[in-house]
Structure 1
């Protein structure tokens, strides 16, 4: 009698449990191959739905089929525990072999969690959610499901041989890199196995539903990278033929150094090209050359702001002449539910189809944000972690890496070390202002001779295009006096860019400028606008700049990191030195003039009470400005020297030392302790032994679920909302409402990235109360109503907390 995993809605075709388990096993093995753990990931795939070998689950499916309006009770059949229990009973009881015991824990946790998120081996309540499932829970028809698994899927002898191969892989994995702790290795391997299982399970289910077998061939892009490299070199050669300015000659020299550097083995490297030095194309040249040389599968750009994603992705698409294979991933448009979705099996609902839609970063070139990258490793829910395995065998470029949030520095460093040392990825830290990422306990394992550019101090001097004018140490500005200052500057120049720290002050200044200056175009930019909206505004600004017309632009810091604009004058509200340096990169960017002015001001109307990192950066920068006023030769003689930057970052990280490991005050714990703290400093492990007078019978005692539930890259979690900007934004919302096929959802979700904004919880509540929000697709997505989005400001709500929104 056949046991059923899924029933296809279109033709009521059945997928047997055997077909599903073996199909997921094949995919999971393929995903595990880069780390040398194919049998570990394959074991998870082979066992994950073993609990469907029951009459009760079969009856559950038939009942759901016959009564679609009144389906069986949610969670009435547990089919995900059985596989984890089998591993526990076979290899974690009696006389336990160390590596088989760890294998049972790592793979078993992935299996029992594949409809939610990884369980705590030990929770703050001193409970083991893992043991509660694999050891203690009552499971109906468990013995029958074991017997049927060995009868239909794999023989018991072959299964034990397969487990032995997985054990050898685990032993080899754990034996590598003695500088990394066992707990650290276990955590990353567990998350990698979980990622491979989630993606393999959803991919196999989607292929069955869509009658497709394409996913069983893992895409390789070597030929595509060859084509891309040729097209990029054609573009670079064209620059050399029509421009011989000193700036362009320097850019070309640094680009050539990146090309030669690409022949080195994969490592963690730095690319400290000054602002305006052509980092995007130079890093792309390195990435394509390195990917061709070392057979990498992806090139991934991780950027701090969505603004840079829009610009850089558009530029790369133009040069590489490819729209289809370059993915922009700004945010998660589909809401991630906290509840266990084990009941969602058989006939697929809209929610299930959205979950199965391709969202796994399997494109050759990917542009995403720092928030999304960190969420892959540390945030709750299965949608984020599904992408983790696709970070292996990649070239990953972190543009403006100095924007790593302070609380996440240790987590960031450990993730990069894993990707380089285990996942065979090459990491490039690309910025004009390299932060001191090794000035922490969990240090970054930067490669020897890591810097790609030679004689960096000479390059910085050669690139000097601006002078920093200190207007911050003697007096304060408000928006009224700033309007007068801008008016005076417009009498001397044709274009002024003003960058302030908070959205409310930016908006207020923009409105005052509109009142006071009528004959000059004035633009306002913030992340209250969706990506498509900001792109349109920036294109208009660029056209005015290109034509030499007068223009004023007032913006939050979104414009300063990598956006390719060149104003004759920049005014920057006091912040960290890295922000001031980035703002300076928007002035005289291409050396059009001999020298131009960047004015640093102190704005008294900015409320930085909740923006601690900006506030601290501002204080340190002001101290350095005062030092330079007293002694013009200190700190290298100018505000943006290498010496000043080193002084700035060392003091910045020292002041935030207690926060670098992502403290969770509510628990009196850090994320690093919860995820990979050893037994000696694991508070819960010690309390368990004291209270229960017995040692917890596990090799891994860390709290993966608790850590994920408390993780936010920013202090307040955001929700992505689709906005009805322009005809395309409205069309996407309408098409999503009418979509049925999983492939249609996949395509529409990609298009929707350009039409989303991210809102704090209090903003969502206000909009909901005022009727500004609409929920579509069974409540799985939220969209703004027309009246809540304006052509001038985007979402028009007062909010000083720009920093969180900027990161998305």
Structure 2
């Protein structure tokens, strides 16, 4: 179905203007979208389109040159990169210089570009404006060293408006429907609904000893929402009610300052699932009420920009068009520093938003410079407010990127709050010889009979789970249920297990859970006893937050152990964190919830990594200043050992109708047929994570099959306790089949 070029250019421009106006760059955004496909106006491209339609193939004729020249002439040379990269991704500055130089000559591409401008100008005369378009005034006020960073961030946000507008207009045409962009949410109404449902939620809960303190915290946090937009710190102990308090703040703050949405980013998928469920209960229309869902849960990590990925599959990328978005910090920041269109199309939604970074202590040290710099730019120039939420607040204001930025505290008397919410005692068992079998027998022998054990890797979790299962069988205690949690399980499987754990804990049934660290930040579970493999101080304190969470006992017990065979990340930052932990925490030293010791710990941890900033991502900042978008994307990896690969798993328990829907979605994505983001949303509950190298091995072994991009369909065995497990974890070529 033909799409008239004039209609597409003007339709995309109108959408981009709407998106760019949120951060004061509507005119530039509209112009870049207006000229992005001008190159399709040549006879050569139109002839290629006719051949492609007959052969059902690609046009095969470049079309980005004309729009790149216009963008350079009327906006500025750096912004030609946005038009040049609207399909393949943002290029580096040298590439754009070379392209523009070539397009100024008499080569065939240069002649074609001028031909396209002349032809399209006859239909869309506004592609040649009377003069250069003014850039935002704040760019001129930046310090010399910050100017290039300002141009880089503005480029990212404008690129987002361009590719989102392009995709939306294209999708609407081929679906033969009007473009659907949600109107601005009634945030004040959402805040009112949230408050009403929160009061009902609290009234329905069995009261606990910490509820009074949680309510005090909530009221302080919501009162702080009347303050000016900026960078806020929410520092409360584990179990202090951050999930509700941060949303109460965000909605009231957005209503006070006419902001557009709330984006909540958390470090683990398990928390997105839990938080999204809570927020849906508080904000989505009730059964029988009219209106679209309010809360979008987005943690799909599928790379939809790879070679051979169909354009329609890229249209399935999520663009965060919702009043409340719950995502992961990996999804947020990996997209923010990416160069690919489908990853970046959502970024303009961050402008004029409240961005809540929950469990902010999990941000990687080696990327703090670009992360903090970008967050400050979003606050200073794009109308955002950022909330740093954690029980173990890192010392971010020691970093030069936040020099001079106001630290807006949301609660008073933090030390007093920690003392009032002290609910555990620590026991340190750091002796040698603690094999998985020894630890498993200790866990099974715990008199509490409800124990959580948290380890550092998915391999360790599988090994300890097997050992605990065997120790339970040897003890002949059939009443005890042994459960497992890790990202090798599908999202739906994890959600089911967490629900089962919560129910068993409430009923007082004997339950032993072995988990990776995904459980220790924000997952609302209450064990009388927690075992934690030795880890950085913030991880140990977060694990302790799952112990005696509601204060129903005088003291819970947290046992810190050092497994003889335990693994841990090998990066420099993790080693620095472990070494600093050993200096401040342990027997005869402090416990992990000592605030003064935590402050000293962060100081030692940061200084151990060097003072020149390179350990914190200074090299990435240099690449950003050079407008080297491919270089930034290559260097900025939230998961240091490479991305994980999302694997869709059709478990045996999936119902026949659901199986049909999943297979239908997989088929449309694999064939490159129109499906929109809803297909990926439906696949999220059925998706587990594998290290990329393991996924590649599985594809070669016939145990997985590509769908689109790096998304794969798992064809091998799925263990109903441990997910995508291996009999021999140390042998990376042997899958359980």
Q: Return the TM-score normalized by structure 2.
A: 0.91
Distance 1:52 1:64 in 2: 14
1:281-360 matches, within 5 Å, as 281-322=244-285, 324-338=293-307, 351-357=310-316, 359-360=318-319
CA–CA separation in structure 1 for the residues paired with 2:237 and 2:501: 24
Alignment coverage as a number of residue pairs: 712
1:349-390 deviation per Cα after TM superposition (whole angstroms, max 9, x unaligned): x82222223511111111111111111221232111111101
User: Is 1:727 equivalent to 2:654 in the alignment?
Assistant: yes
Who is 2:352 aligned against?
A: 393
The Cα shift of 1:319 comes to 2.4
Post-superposition offset of 1:543? 1.2
Q: Does the 8 Å contact 1:413/1:444 carry over to 2?
A: no
In the alignment, what sits opposite 1:698?
none
Measured after TM superposition, the shift of residue 241 of structure 1 is 8.1
Hey, what's the Cα distance between the residues in 2 that align with 1:609 and 1:241? 42
Q: Does the 8 A contact of 2:452 with 2:514 survive in 1?
A: yes
Q: CA deviation at 1:85?
A: 1.7
Using the alignment, how far apart are the partners of 1:462 and 1:86 within structure 2?
A: 63
Cα 1:42/1:133, change in 2 over 3 Å: farther
Q: How does 1:150-169 map to 2 (within 5 A)?
A: 150-154=121-125, 159-161=128-130, 163-164=131-132, 166-167=133-134, 169=135
User: What is the correspondence of 1:372-387 to structure 2 with a 5 Å cutoff?
Assistant: 372-387=331-346
Task: Find the counterpart in structure 2 of residue 581 from structure 1.
Answer: 541
Q: In 1, distance between residues paired with 2:522 and 2:569?
A: 27
Alignment CA distance shift 1:241-1:704 (3 Å): closer
Question: How far 1:733 moved relative to its partner?
Answer: 3.1
Q: CA deviation at 1:292?
A: 1.6
Residues 224-254 of structure 1: per-residue CA shift (max 9 Å, x gap): x514532433323552587664410110011
Cα 1:415–1:265 change in 2 (3 A) is same
Cα 1:160–1:551, aligned 2, differ >3 Å: closer, same or farther? same
Cα deviation for residue 286 of structure 1 reads 0.6
Deviation for aligned residue 1:659: 8.9
Aligned mates of 2:535, 2:102 — CA distance in 1: 50
From the superposition, tell whether residues 390 and 645 of structure 1 become closer, same or farther in structure 2 (CA, over 3 Å): same
CA distance in 2, matches of 1:609, 1:210: 47
CA RMSD of aligned residues (A): 2.7
Name 2:735's counterpart in structure 1.
none
Of residues 453, 461, 475 in structure 2, which corresponds to 1:506? 461
Post-superposition offset of 1:392: 0.7
State the match for 1:200 in structure 2: 165
Query: Gapped runs of 5+ residues in structure 2?
Result: 286-291, 733-737
Conserved 8 A contact 2:283-2:295: no
Gaps of 5+ in 1: 1-7, 9-13, 92-99, 340-349, 677-700, 803-808
1:280 CA displacement: 0.2
1:110 aligns with 82
Report the CA distance shift for 1:182/1:20 in structure 2 as closer, same or farther (over 3 A): same
Counterparts of 1:553 and 1:331, CA distance in 2? 26
Q: Which residue of 1 aligns with 2:183?
A: 219
Q: 1:661 to 1:731 in 2, by over 3 A?
A: farther
CA distance in 1, matches of 2:502, 2:154: 47
Q: Does 2:606 align with 1:653?
A: yes
> How many Å separate the matches in 2 of 1:335 and 1:774?
15
**Which residue in 1 is equivalent to 2:566?**
606
Match among 255, 272, 281 for residue 218 of structure 2: 255
**Correspondence for 1:571:** 531
| 1:459 corresponding residue in structure 2 | 417
SS at match of 2:502: helix
Q: Name the counterpart of 2:619.
A: 670
Counterpart-to-counterpart distance in 2, 1:512 and 1:24: 58
Q: Higher mean Cα deviation, 427-436 or 14-23?
A: 14-23
Q: Secondary structure of the residue that 2:577 maps to in structure 1?
A: helix
762, 781, 784: which is aligned to 2:693? 762
Tell me: CA distance 1:179–1:240, structure 2 relative to 1, closer, same or farther (3 Å).
Answer: farther
Shift of 1:509: 1.8
**What SS does structure 1 have at the residue aligned with 2:585?**
helix
Offset at residue 417 of structure 1 (A): 0.6
CA contact (8 A) 2:90 2:630 kept: yes
CA 1:393/1:329 → structure 2, altered by over 3 Å: closer, same or farther? Answer: same
Residue number in structure 2 paired with 1:711:
636
Distance 1:135 1:572, change over 3 A: farther
Question: Match of 2:289?
Answer: none
Q: Deviations over 1:112-157 (max 9, x none)?
A: 111111111137xxx945545654664143332222232210257x
- Cα distance in 2 between the residues matched to 1:754 and 1:271: 30
Instruction: Say which of 34, 58, 62 aligns to 1:46.
Output: 34
Cα distance change on mapping 1:133 and 1:565 into 2, 3 Å: farther
Shift of 1:482: 1.1
Q: Secondary structure at the match of 1:713?
A: coil
